[in-house]
Amino acid sequence: MKTLFLTGGTGEIGAAILEKFKKQNYTVLAPNRLELDLQSSAAVDNYLKELNVTVDSFVHCAGFNTPKPFSELSEDDVRNTFQINAFSFYSLSHHLVKHNLLKNPGSIVAISSIYGDFSRKGRFAYSASKHALNGMVKTLALELGEKNIKVNAVSPGFVDTKMTSKNNSAATIEDFKKRIPLGRLAAVEDIAEVVYFLSANNNYINGQCIIADGGYSVGGFQS
């Protein structure tokens, strides 16, 4: 039986990923926030001291996004966003690689965002952290390829989640739908399917940031 190590499994996208892998008979290691507090580097270090299980796939789905105008953004806001979205990915991946806990073949998939490729007002910390995450993914793919460990990111567009509703007005969401060529927000299951493919069925995709946005970023926003 194969094993998945998953962060962010209590979020809506994370829960869909967890369910998808369980249906495919994976053993899923998905610590909750009390077991693994990604906001604290010390807590991450303490968790890693006890992490000694070999896994086939690591999926970093944990994420943090609280939009603020740049003038209202504090240094702590930026640091916290980077800690969860990027630095914890580094810490967990580094531990798995250093201690040979990723099998051959193996995979790492990071949940990024379309804002890892471009940006939007009020998303300074979030966009910067996702750009950093994408850079980590690309460089890690170069270094781990010789171990037959493929490293990729999935960059969702607008997903039908509580976070999307929290960070955008109903009118804005309706406008998104009009500008997405497929005419709808992504379901969390849509993202889980891409993650599963990159983890379980992928033989040759490596170092890529796969955008799953219904066509929005290729020009749908201009329609």
% of the chain exceeding 70 in pLDDT: 98
Query: Which backbone phi and psi does 130 adopt, to 5 degrees?
Result: -75, -35
DSSP conformation class of 67 = -
Strands ordered across the beta sheet of 209-212: 27-29, 3-7, 55-60, 102-111, 149-156, 209-212
- Is the per-residue pLDDT at 190 higher than 90? yes
H-type helices in the chain, by residue range? 12-23, 41-50, 75-82, 88-98, 124-144, 162-167, 170-179, 188-196
CB distance 86 to 118 below 8 Å: no
- Is the per-residue pLDDT at 223 higher than 70? no
The confidence score (pLDDT) of residue 123 equals 94
Name the catalytic one among 47, 126, 196, 216.
126
* Of the candidates 100, 134, 98, the residue with the CA atom closest to the CA atom of residue 116: 134
Tell me: the pLDDT tens digits for 124-170? 999 999 999 999 999 999 999 999 999 999 999 999 998 899 888 99
The distance between the two most distant Cα atoms of the chain, rounded to a whole number of Å, is: 51
The pLDDT of 102-120, averaged and rounded, is 95
pLDDT higher at 166 or 58: 58
CB distance 125 to 77 below 8 Å: yes
Range with the largest mean pLDDT of 14-23, 66-75, 116-125:
14-23
Side chain identity, residue 74: S
The confidence score (pLDDT) of residue 87 equals 96
The confidence score (pLDDT) of residue 39 equals 92
* Of the candidates 4, 106, 115, the residue with the CA atom closest to the CA atom of residue 64: 115
The confidence score (pLDDT) of residue 167 equals 83
Sketch out the chain's domains with CATH numbers.
3-216 (3.40.50.720)
Q: Torsion over CA of 3, 133, 129 and 35, rounded to 10 degrees?
A: 20
- 90 catalytic? Reply is no
The confidence score (pLDDT) of residue 220 equals 67
**In which band, very low, low, confident or very high, does the pLDDT at 107 lie, cut at 50, 70 and 90?**
very high
The confidence score (pLDDT) of residue 163 equals 85
% of the chain exceeding 90 in pLDDT: 87
Read off the tokens for 50. 């006890």
CB distance 198 to 205 below 8 Å: yes
CA atoms within 13 A on the CB side of 24: 18
Instruction: Output the DSSP codes for 106-155.
Output: EEEEEE--GGGTS--TT-HHHHHHHHHHHHHHHHHHHHHGGGTEEEEEEE
| Average pLDDT of the residues of the chain | 95
pTM listed for this prediction? 0.94
